[in-house]
Structure 1
Amino acid sequence: MEQSRTPQQEKQQSNRFTYWLKTSITARMLMVGFLVIVLLIPLSYINSLIRERSYRQTDVVNEINDKWGSDVLIYGPVLKLPYKTYSEKTTYNQKSKTYFKETETQINYAYLFPEKLDVKTDVKSKSMYLGNFESAVFTSDFNINGEYKAPDLKSKDIKNEDVVWDKATLIFKTTNVKGIKTEMMVKLNDTPYNFDTNFSDNNNYKNRLDELETGFINQDILKDTFSFNMQVSYDGSEQIQMIPVGKTSTMSMTSNWADPGFIGAYSPDDETRSITEEGFKVNWKVLSINRAFSQLYLNKIPNLTQFGFGTKFVVLVDEYQKSERSAKYGFLVIGLTFLIFFLIQTMSKIHIHPFQYLMIGLALTMFYTLLVSISEHSNFLKAYLVAGVSVVTLITIYSKSILKSLKFSAFIGVSLSALYAFIYVIIQLENYALLVGSIGLFLILASVMFVSRKIDWHND
């Protein structure tokens, strides 16, 4: 029968376990690893905070743009030409017991694109703020010119006598109708025609294109080549694009915005492109051979938004993106910092309580909340410096009281400063971030291996 332990034996056993926790390298490693995992919880909340603030920025920018005017995409003008089609219907007459045929006439529409389309736009841009958030808004003046040849539908087996010439109209599609500042009018051979809005419940919200249509065009204009001219001004935001519906389409754009981004299916001409601190000037030219659609469509206007091109007015404010990238290295920062304290504790036989490790870890996580909050009121570099200096100073002073050594606390301060500087460099890099990060981590690993080579890991 097994003898029960006396209170004195249980106390000795408890003292041995406590002593093992204090002196065992394995126990310290397990404790440090557990605390690192625990600190992932506040790090996850910080990542959620960064995403929430980023979504808030997007909402505020959208609110600014909705009030001022949204992005601009122009599509047209497009000539809408009605024509007749015929179908025969056979009907049986019960009284006469005979069949007879009747011809039904339907009206369909052909949509013709211009031979030449030239768009010139002058864009006056500025930054608009709501709280701490910024959006790029602009006022753009468009001068749209072009040329149509006399319409001919014979290629689609449509006879001239079936075309309803006196019912032809001109269509212009555009986003941001709310932002139009001038009356919409087009001149055909110097004859003015006003546009009216064609509202449709079936408009695809994704494309956001509203349709404008003129009254009936004088059919005499359509008998020969004719020119058109439109002048329109928009209050808009973020970007300007056009769809190259002309057989030869050109666009020139000038602006006082210093940070353009060229978007869409076609790039501007490199030889004539000019970008300075005072603004930019660019030109595009798109030929019919450069795009995969024809000049004539029947029954409906095709969705050609994928062929749009133009300029995005970039706001160089990516603090939340940089903060999010920085927070992704939070696990690395906490792990390496704890590793430094662990090595100092192991080599110097200084006792560090788990609570003190926890305080150091929480101070490291506070870096990211400081970074996000300060960057909303300043630029990222200043926010990073303030947050980094604050946290490094706090941990250095705290480690002085723990380790009772100026040498060790100074080493920790220098190591943390180097680590934050290393991460800042990685955040700023794009193409070489992986290379620099890999080299840096290799050097850190080599340093740890060198420093820990003489530790007696078996003395547990």
Structure 2
Amino acid sequence: MPLPRPASGERSPGYRFGLAVLLGLLLAIPLFAVYLLVYDRQSQSETARGSIVEGWGQPQQFAGPFLVIPFSQMVETEVQENGRTVKRAQSQDRALFVAPDQVRFETRLDPELRRRSIYQAVVYSAAMRASGSFRLPDLAASNIDPASLRMGEAEIRFGISSAKGLGGSRPQVRVGGRAIPLIPGSGLRSTDGSGFSGRLGAMPPGGPIAFDIAFTMRGHDSITLLPSAQDTRWQVASSWPHPSFVGGFLPVARHVDAHGFSAGWRIGNLALNRPVVSIDEQAGDTADRVTVALIDPVNLYSEVNRAVKYGFMFIGFTFLTLLMFDVIAGVPVSGVAYLLVGSGLILFFVLLLAFAEILGFTPAYVIASAAIVGLLACYSAAVLGSWRRAGAVAGLLAGLYAVLYVLLGLEAYSLLNGSLLLFAALAAVMYFTRGVDWGRIGGRADTIEA
């Protein structure tokens, strides 16, 4: 028995499939616009964070201390006189840099969340204590005449990358049990000359030269040590529960829990591959830095950005569901309906970003997904002519949003789980459309009765 003639204007399943694909590709334009919106809001957030921490102190980096002893050294140079090369001995001022024989740093980081409007930044006050000792080197091994040393001009130098962070602090430096006055802006080359120094005056007679340094400095996000001593030890403690330990050396011991963290390092100069004594300051290797960062475990812009990348999956699955109702169940779905549904799916990411900046990511995700599921369920009931069919669309969307939330939390396995989900979806589409004649007007090769 021949199939009934299709109504005027009816299109083949292949045409409707192509229309859904084309409309899905067109929705890539507003989806990309949402991606740019996330990037723009993130840039505004970084600018706002910069204004919050301005005047407080930069991410701090400290180096030293060094015992610096100036001396004079005769250097033979060649000069031209009357067309002849003549060698002359000239006196040059040099400096002997002596790193500590051993030094112990104790740091207490007191973090604080500072807010401005909807933005926030992590700042800290670091109570620093450095104690140790210097030992005068064997000058003969360095080919230095002991008589050329100007011991009365010897000084101790300590480098801090952002001297502004010393605001409100009066560093105390004691050498050999004697407090010494400090000179600002005379730090180390490794900290761009920022820091402080103090003239020792009379050197303690013989033996190790003990020192003790105490001060408080302010900064934000991270604090970094440039080790240089023969034996460097650093103990850090803080109430911040989300630290990140990076750099050339990891802590030999650490403890992290919900109440904060503590960590300790021990680094020898053999591991640094640099001498304890040098003529003039030697640039430290940046690979030897030890950094403690106070991180925010949930970067909402990063999470929203990752969610936007799954936008095509939402559009594809929802359009396939509508297409199945159109092709298999015989419920016509217009191109305008596809566009409106796709617009609602893209609006989810805008709502997610807007609410996340105020409420946080998880509450924003629940609110935005519930709003879009409810909106599209009501619209689908009108388009598909049945609340039962609309319930299928709502159930699909709720499942997709639940799966996406899980994928966002499983960074290491998100690709595996996402690919398995796509495989299952493709298998389901193949199964339900296995009897569809995509080129035949009317939808199926057999008579549709249901």
Same fold flag (TM > 0.5): yes
How far is the alpha carbon of 1:412 from its aligned partner? 0.7
Question: Aligned pair 1:250/2:236, yes or no?
Answer: no
Quote the offset at 1:373 in angstroms.
0.1
Deviations along 1:34-67, whole A, 9 cap, x unmatched?
1111111101110001011111111222222223
Say whether residues 1:220 and 2:207 are aligned partners: no
Please say if residues 185 and 231 of structure 1, whose CA atoms lie closer than 8 Å, have aligned partners that are also in contact.
Answer: yes
Q: Is the partner of 1:455 in helix, strand or coil?
A: coil
Q: Equivalent of 1:179, from 161, 165, 181?
A: 165
Displacement of 1:127 in angstroms is 1.3
Alignment of 1:49-128 (within 5 A): 49-88=37-76, 103-128=89-114
CA RMSD of aligned residues (A): 2.6
CA contact (8 A) 2:71 2:94 kept: yes
Question: 2:178 maps to which residue?
Answer: 191
Of 194, 200, 220 in structure 2, the residue corresponding to residue 210 of structure 1 is 194
Q: In the alignment, is the contact (CA less than 8 A) between 1:150 and 1:222 conserved in 2?
A: no
Give the drift of 1:295.
1.1
CA distance in 2 between counterparts of 1:411 and 1:92 reads: 94
**Inter-partner Cα distance in structure 2 for 1:93 and 1:456:** 100
Displacement of 1:33 after TM fit? 1.5
- Distance in 2 (CA, whole Å) between partners of 1:88 and 1:150 is 27
| C-alpha distance in structure 1 between counterparts of 2:355 and 2:171, whole Å | 46
In 2, are the aligned partners of 1:151 and 1:222 still within 8 Å (CA)?
Answer: no
Q: Output the amino acid matched with 1:355.
A: V
Gaps of 5+ in 2: 442-450
**Amino acid corresponding to residue 220 of structure 1 in structure 2:** M
In structure 1, which of residues 216, 219, 233 is the aligned counterpart of residue 216 of structure 2?
Answer: 233
Map 1:332-343 to 2 at 5 A.
Answer: 332-343=313-324
Q: What letter corresponds to residue 136 of structure 1 in structure 2?
A: V
Distance 1:212 1:306, change over 3 A: farther
Closer, same or farther: CA 19–293 of 1 in aligned 2, 3 Å: farther
1:403 is aligned with what amino acid?
Answer: L
Counterpart CA distance in 1 for 2:438 and 2:87 is 102
Residue 4 of structure 1: aligned partner = none
TM-score (normalised: structure 2): 0.90
Amino acid at match of 1:192: A
Moved over 6 A (4+): 90-94, 97-101
C-alpha change, 1:199 and 1:44, in structure 2 (3 Å) is farther
What CA deviation, in whole Å up to 9, does each residue of 1:421-449 have, x standing for no partner? 11111111122112211211111111111
Q: In 1, are the aligned partners of 2:71 and 2:96 still within 8 Å (CA)?
A: yes
1:378 partner amino acid = L
Over 3 Å counting, the alpha-carbon distance change for 1:209 and 1:138 in structure 2 is farther
- Per the TM alignment, residue 17 of structure 1 is displaced from its structure 2 partner at its CA by 13
**Alignment of 1:25 onto 2:9:** no
The 1-side partners of 2:67 and 2:357 are apart by 50
* 2:257 paired with 1:276: yes
Q: 1:107 corresponds to which letter in structure 2? A: D
Whole-Å separation in 2 of the counterparts to 1:93 and 1:281: 66
SS of corresponding position for 2:407: helix
- For the 8 Å contact 1:135–1:315, the answer to whether it is kept is no
Residues 208 and 410 of structure 1: CA distance in aligned 2, closer, same or farther (over 3 Å): farther
Structure 1 residues 374-415: Cα deviation after superposition (integer angstroms, max 9, x where no partner): 001112111111111111111111111111122211111101
- What is the aligned-residue identity percentage? 23
Answer whether contact 2:189 2:283 (CA < 8 A) is retained: no
Q: Is the 8 A contact 1:241 1:308 kept in 2?
A: yes
CA contact (8 A) 2:157 2:186 kept: no
Sort the Cα spacing of 1:222 and 1:433 in 2 relative to 1 into closer, same or farther, 3 A: farther
Partner Cα distance (1:77, 1:93) in 2: 45
- Displacement of 1:101 after TM fit? 6.8
- Distance in 2 between residues matched to 1:292 and 1:400, nearest whole Å: 72
Higher helix share: 1
- Change in Cα spacing, 1:459 to 1:165, as seen in structure 2 (3 Å) is same
Shift of 1:19: 4.4
- Relative to the length of structure 1, the TM-score reads 0.88
- The amino acid of 2:419's aligned partner reads S
> What secondary structure sits across from 2:297 in the alignment?
coil
Cα distance between partner residues in 2 of 1:38 and 1:149: 73
Q: Is the 8 A contact 1:184 1:194 kept in 2?
A: no
Matched positions, count: 436
Task: Provide closer, same or farther for how the CA distance between residues 222 and 290 of structure 1 changes in structure 2, counting only shifts above 3 A.
Answer: farther
Counterpart selection for 2:410 from 408, 416, 429? 429
Q: Secondary structure of 1:245's match?
A: coil
The residue aligned with 1:367 is 348
In 2, distance between residues paired with 1:101 and 1:387? 82
SS of 1:155 mapped into structure 2 = coil
Q: Distance in 2 between matches of 1:401 and 1:98?
A: 102
Going from structure 1 to structure 2, the CA distance change for 1:173 and 1:305 (only over 3 Å counts) comes to: farther
TM-aligned CA distance change 1:102 to 1:294, over 3 Å: closer
Tell me if structure 2 keeps the 8 A contact 1:117–1:245: no
Task: Measure, in 1, the Cα distance between the counterparts of 2:368 and 2:85.
Answer: 91
Q: After TM superposition, give the deviation of residue 222 of structure 1 in Å.
A: 6.7
Determine if contact 2:102/2:231 at 8 Å carries over to the other structure: yes
TM superposition shift of 1:102: 5.0
Q: CA distance change for structure 1 residues 189 and 27 in 2, over 3 Å: closer, same or farther?
A: same
Task: Tell me, in whole angstroms, the C-alpha distance in 2 between the residues paired with 1:388 and 1:358.
Answer: 19
Distance 1:209 1:105, change over 3 A: closer
Of the candidates 393, 397, 417, which is equivalent to residue 412 of structure 1? Answer: 393
* Residue in structure 2 matched with residue 309 of structure 1 by the alignment: 290
The whole-number CA distance in structure 2 between the counterparts of 1:101 and 1:28 is 93
Structure-1 separation of matches of 2:432 and 2:416: 25
**How many angstroms does 1:90 deviate by?**
7.1
2:327 counterpart residue number: 346
| Mapped partners of 2:435, 2:150: distance in 1 | 96
CA distance in 1, matches of 2:273, 2:440: 75
Work out the CA distance in 2 between the residues paired with 1:176 and 1:406. 64
Structure 1 position 445 matched with structure 2 position 426: yes
Task: Call closer, same or farther: CA 1:98–1:334 in 2, change over 3 Å.
Answer: closer
Amino acid at match of 1:71: P
Write the distance in 1 (CA, Å) between the matches of 2:80 and 2:387: 109
